[in-house]
Chains A and B, each alone.
Chain A
Amino acid sequence: MSTEAATEHAAGDDHAHDAAHGAGHHGPKWLAHHYDTPIQQFDAAKLGMWVFLAQELLFFSGLFVAYGVYRNWYPEMFKAAAHQLNKEMGATNTVVLLFSSLTIALAVRSAQVGNRKLTGRLILTTIACAFGFLFIKFFEYKHKFEGGLLPGRFFHPHAEHLVQGAPPLPANTGSFFSIYFMMTGVHGIHVLVGIGVLIWIWIRNNRGDFSKEYFTPVDIVALYWHLVDLVWIYLFPLLYLI
């Protein structure tokens, strides 16, 4: 095979510098040295993120299977325990997250057309929603702690803090709250990570790293944020409603 034959770097971008700059600098600043074209870099990043999201899905799947198995074994316990969850707060959080998914999707759009100011505002709104979600979650957790509605060994319900008029809780309700705290906890950690990467792209956006030609990080962070939203859309009905 002709290793001798020097391939011309397929320069799909107008910014390709002179090849004399060496192997490390052959295009715009944001084009990493090992990519030939911006499109290749964008596609690789996007594919990488989708593969990573597949991983995320399987990560949560263990919890969903555990939920399914225990719900199948103890349906009446799950029904009784669900009465102790605050549907209003859960529903509010669902709206907050859905709205944040919209704002981050709009942020991608505005990054694509190079509207830096709007992108920044939309990312900030998304971050605010994420904090709002955690704020509401904090109060939900607080009620559970006050009521002694804790996982496994720590499950000691105090009647005075429970929802009035709800069906009595069977002795093994600790299992429900184990699953509740694991599922919402792992999801909450994902929200925290999401806040971290959202702040990262917000700073980069302010710094002017992004343009019509290069907005990959906004795009892949948005993909991640949609997954965080999507998981919650399943958690809410499974834990609170049915």
Chain B
Amino acid sequence: MAAITTTPASHHDEPDPTVSYLKSTKGLMSWLITLDHKRIGVMYLIAVTLSFALGGIFALLVRAELFTKGKTLMDADTYNRMFSLHGVVMVFLFIIPSIPAAMGNIILPIQLGTKDVAFPKLNLLSLYIYAFGACFGVYSMINGGVDTGWTFYTPYSSSDPAHGGVGSPSAVIPMTLAAFIMGFSSILTGVNFIATIHKMRAPGMSWRRITLFTWSLYATSIIQVLATPVLAITLMLLTMERFLGLGIFDPRLGGDPVLFQHFFWFYSHPAVYIMIVPAMGVVSELISTFSRREVVGYMAIAMSSLGLALLGFLVWGHHLFVAGMSEYATMVFSALTFLVAIPSGVKVFNWVATLYKGSISLQTPMLWALSFLFLFTIGGLTGLFLGMLAVDVHLHDTYFVVAHFHYVMVGGTVMGFVGGLHYWWPKFTGKLYDESWARVGWFFVFIGFNVTFLAQFVLGSRGMPRRYYDYLPQFEQLHQVSTIGSWILGFGFLVLGIMFIRSLLGGKPSPRNPWGSAALEWMTPTPPPLYNFLPGKEPMLTRGQYDYHLATEDELYDGYDDPMFPGREHDSRNKAKPSEGEAH
């Protein structure tokens, strides 16, 4: 090999591949320059969790302001900035990277049976691009934030009063640049995952054996790669329009604001599938594990993820029904929108069929998965109301829309995210959490969420427009119900936050497979070693990851009665547990 000219491999400072990834190397730098997908995922997880908390605070402030008619806490300008920042932070900083970049990063390579993602350096780069973009976002917030809504509609966003325009005086450019930059982080994650899923599967890991979580990340990555660049160029045009007065989106300069809406939703509608499809993947895992059986309709669920990815690109026009599109275009977009219900329905029915005659255990992750099923169905069905042309004219830009997408995004994605966080928490940290407090937290979140947003369905159908600072007296009572709901919701998340921190500080060590799952990530030590599998124990699959009937008892049980309540003896299963060395 003539090519080798530089440093010989040094062996003495190499990390030990047999200890947990959390302990294989030490020090802050070993995290900041790590190429290990698990550590990168953990850093993402911390970042998105903090963003979620920040976005949540903005949401609580918005709801608090709406508690009474007129001014409650802040003036109208501040209120506009609060709901805009809530949207921007939740969409770009939290929900888009939440499941794919944070959880997917950690779990995907392990579920594929590989040591890392295809491009570890690119993976780290995408984390730093995300952080760099977030800096722009924070800079914008320090300079007063934005008051355009997260959608940055032109010409309000693009016409700068500093250059004689009539639009928003807020710090729009840094915020659009933030979203622009973070978009590249999302694209690179997508590129990485697609290459990983295609090329890095372990021996025996056929396309029919990858998990449904992997399928969902595959579909998501396709959307990330094909939709995000359109947002990037749109935001770039918007930035330049505000800066140079390009005249592409501003009618005063000969531009067309509806063109911006087309561009924006060509990304942002597929983007809602970037948000929801990974959560569907998580839920598939949870329902299979806690029903202790193979998922029904594996291929149907997998293909419906791809179906959503495809249909997601064809329905952006339903955001523009009242923006002045041609009648024929609205009819086509309306019809295409109804098609989205098919893959969504396929998933829901298959999950329910999986529950049927499953051996269901209602541990906390399963509570979140069932909440997802319940709330996503409401969110999905109300989407059909909005896809209907005549109904949409009445409901457009009302609280009905707000309630609809919160049922999908919070009732769907956040439920999936938090459920996945509970499910994989032992895998990430090696610690168990307190099951009782976790249930208390779930209870408050579930109740609080429904109180907050059911009220908004009613408000919207009675004509309360979204984003308004003030409202008519007849809406006050329902607004107060909604605000009280937001406090219950916030309290629930507070309980969960404390519960997870307590687990980190003093949680009991987790067994290898606390849930008795048959999936590959639970077949390796918890937390996983540096290269995911112990040297010499790299996986070769002889069964599918949901094949509970083919899994051996040793793979599924590891000596705890009920790992969430170690020491409690109520399960007869353990008494029958074979002693070491007994052959099966």
**Residues of chain A with a CB closer than 8 A to B199's CB:** 40, 43-44, 47
Option from B1, B230, B531, B535 in Cβ contact (under 8 Å) with A58: B230
Q: Can you list 11 A-B contacts (CB < 8 A)? A: A5-B540, A7-B539, A7-B540, A21-B11, A29-B4, A44-B196, A45-B119, A58-B227, A61-B229, A152-B244, A179-B248
Q: Which of A80-88, A102-110, A170-178 contacts B (4 or more CB under 8 A)?
A: A170-178
**Residues of chain A with a CB closer than 8 A to B234's CB:** 62
**C-alpha spacing A2/B247, complex, angstroms:** 63
Number of interface residues of B (CB under 8 A): 73
Please state if B3 and A208 are interface contacts (CB–CB under 8 Å).
yes
Please state if A29 and B3 are interface contacts (CB–CB under 8 Å).
yes
**Residues of chain A with a CB closer than 8 A to B194's CB:** 47-48, 51
Interface residues of B in 244-262 (CB under 8 A from A): 244-248, 253-256, 259
* In the assembled complex, A214 has its CB within 8 A of some CB on chain B: yes
Closest CB in chain A relative to B253 CB, distance in Å: 6
Interface residues of B in 522-547 (CB under 8 A from A): 523-524, 530-531, 533, 535-543
**C-alpha spacing A1/B531, complex, angstroms:** 18
Interface residues of A in 16-61 (CB under 8 A from B): 21-25, 28-30, 32-34, 40, 43-45, 47-48, 51-52, 54-56, 58-61
The chain A residue sitting closest to B262, CB to CB, is A65
Option from A3, A32, A178, A210 in Cβ contact (under 8 Å) with B533: A3
* In the assembled complex, A95 has its CB within 8 A of some CB on chain B: no
Please state if B248 and A47 are interface contacts (CB–CB under 8 Å).
no
The chain A residue sitting closest to B225, CB to CB, is A55
Interface flags for B190-216 (1: CB within 8 Å of A; 0: not) read 111011101110111000000000000
**C-alpha spacing A66/B236, complex, angstroms:** 13
Q: Which of B46-54, B110-118, B384-392, B425-433 contacts A (4 or more CB under 8 A)?
A: B110-118
Option from B117, B230, B541 in Cβ contact (under 8 Å) with A1: B541
* In the assembled complex, A140 has its CB within 8 A of some CB on chain B: no
* In the assembled complex, B409 has its CB within 8 A of some CB on chain A: no
The chain A residue sitting closest to B538, CB to CB, is A7
* In the assembled complex, B163 has its CB within 8 A of some CB on chain A: yes
Please state if A58 and B229 are interface contacts (CB–CB under 8 Å).
yes
Please state if A52 and B191 are interface contacts (CB–CB under 8 Å).
yes
**C-alpha spacing A5/B233, complex, angstroms:** 49
**C-alpha spacing A56/B225, complex, angstroms:** 9
**C-alpha spacing A152/B122, complex, angstroms:** 37
Interface of A is mostly: helix
Please state if B539 and A1 are interface contacts (CB–CB under 8 Å).
yes
* In the assembled complex, A6 has its CB within 8 A of some CB on chain B: yes
**Residues of chain B with a CB closer than 8 A to A48's CB:** 118-119, 122, 191-192, 194-195
Interface of B is mostly: loop
Please state if B233 and A60 are interface contacts (CB–CB under 8 Å).
yes
**C-alpha spacing A207/B191, complex, angstroms:** 29
**C-alpha spacing A183/B6, complex, angstroms:** 42
* In the assembled complex, A151 has its CB within 8 A of some CB on chain B: yes
**Residues of chain B with a CB closer than 8 A to A34's CB:** 114-117, 120, 200, 531
Please state if A2 and B259 are interface contacts (CB–CB under 8 Å).
no
Please state if B191 and A59 are interface contacts (CB–CB under 8 Å).
no
Q: Given the interface contacts A29-B3, A182-B237, does A44 sit within 8 Å of B195 by beta carbon?
A: yes
**Residues of chain A with a CB closer than 8 A to B117's CB:** 34
Closest CB in chain B relative to A213 CB, distance in Å: 8
Please state if B118 and A44 are interface contacts (CB–CB under 8 Å).
yes
* In the assembled complex, A91 has its CB within 8 A of some CB on chain B: no
**Residues of chain A with a CB closer than 8 A to B9's CB:** 21, 24-25, 29
Interface flags for B51-90 (1: CB within 8 Å of A; 0: not) read 0000000000000000000000000000000000000000
Q: Given the interface contacts A153-B245, A153-B253, A174-B247, does A47 sit within 8 Å of B1 by beta carbon?
A: no
Closest CB in chain B relative to A169 CB, distance in Å: 14
* In the assembled complex, B226 has its CB within 8 A of some CB on chain A: yes
**Residues of chain B with a CB closer than 8 A to A52's CB:** 187, 191, 225
Option from B118, B259, B535 in Cβ contact (under 8 Å) with A66: B259
Option from A3, A55, A186, A211 in Cβ contact (under 8 Å) with B539: A3
**Residues of chain B with a CB closer than 8 A to A211's CB:** 1-3
**Residues of chain A with a CB closer than 8 A to B203's CB:** 7, 10
**C-alpha spacing A69/B202, complex, angstroms:** 48
The chain A residue sitting closest to B547, CB to CB, is A1
* In the assembled complex, A154 has its CB within 8 A of some CB on chain B: yes
Interface flags for A126-156 (1: CB within 8 Å of B; 0: not) read 0000000000000000000000000111100
Please state if A66 and B248 are interface contacts (CB–CB under 8 Å).
yes
Please state if B230 and A15 are interface contacts (CB–CB under 8 Å).
no
The chain B residue sitting closest to A43, CB to CB, is B199
Option from A4, A7, A28 in Cβ contact (under 8 Å) with B1: A28
**Residues of chain B with a CB closer than 8 A to A28's CB:** 1, 3-4
**C-alpha spacing A193/B531, complex, angstroms:** 33
